[in-house]
Chains A and B, each alone.
Chain A
């Protein structure tokens, strides 16, 4: 197993987060230098196996969840079903993970992702001690993306 350059991973994640949330949900995203406190309203998880193996956990408060879904659907939160909301958030994570991996390696790299899923508890993904946690701000609200990476064996 080869250690991933943490700086490169951070830069790739910043670019992917800004691009994905900006283009899909029209949200301006900034990196935060320090950890931010927020009440987690939603957690989503995806694994990848190529060009590196790893896991990504997206955690955000209720207000960002609502802003993402309303902006993408261009409609009020109340008019959407639970399935529509979950599908929207999972698609966002799917694209975020794909963009991150291409930023980390190269644009033309083949990317292999699992199907993303909604988490009801962190117990569902086992060990979370090896995650690096990166904090961002989306128009005044903090959220985090946690990453655990290792080179493909």
Chain B
């Protein structure tokens, strides 16, 4: 996939760092990475900036990942925006619900470059 701007949404700075590193190791080393620590901050940033994909955790304070994705789908600007979920909390039911929200996939933590390539292909 051609991903020039990637937004990473996760309350853990460590997790954001690992996700960014995995994308870079998967071939997306030329991409620009934006970071937000919860859904609210991500929504605010997305109002100002256009990105090619959002990579989000589910378990976050203030606005969790599922609510964040639902809100994205309600906005004209982001209703078709590709979303990839990265979480330690996934389930079949959640996966089905998220697939209905046009989510590209769910990657279970710990994140690895191989898992990025599996879902998105090499950068």
Q: Which residues of A contact B92 (CB under 8 A)?
A: 108
When A and B form their complex, what is the total count of cross-chain residue pairs whose Cβ atoms lie within 8 Å?
56
Q: By the criterion CB–CB under 8 Å, are B18 and A24 in contact? A: yes
Bound together, the chains give a CA A87 to CA B14 distance in angstroms of 6
Q: By the criterion CB–CB under 8 Å, are B12 and A98 in contact? A: no
Q: By the criterion CB–CB under 8 Å, are B18 and A84 in contact? A: no
Q: Which of A73, A94, A97 has the most CB of B within 10 A?
A: A94
Q: By the criterion CB–CB under 8 Å, are A95 and B89 in contact? A: no
The number of chain A residues touching the other chain, given as a range, is 20 to 34
The number of chain B residues touching the other chain, given as a range, is 20 to 34
State whether A110 and B18 are in contact (beta carbons under 8 Å apart), knowing that A24-B110, A95-B109, A115-B61 are contacts in the complex: no
Q: By the criterion CB–CB under 8 Å, are B18 and A72 in contact? A: yes
Give residues in A with beta carbon < 8 Å to B: 19-20, 23-24, 72-73, 83-84, 87-88, 90-91, 94-95, 97-99, 102, 108-113, 115
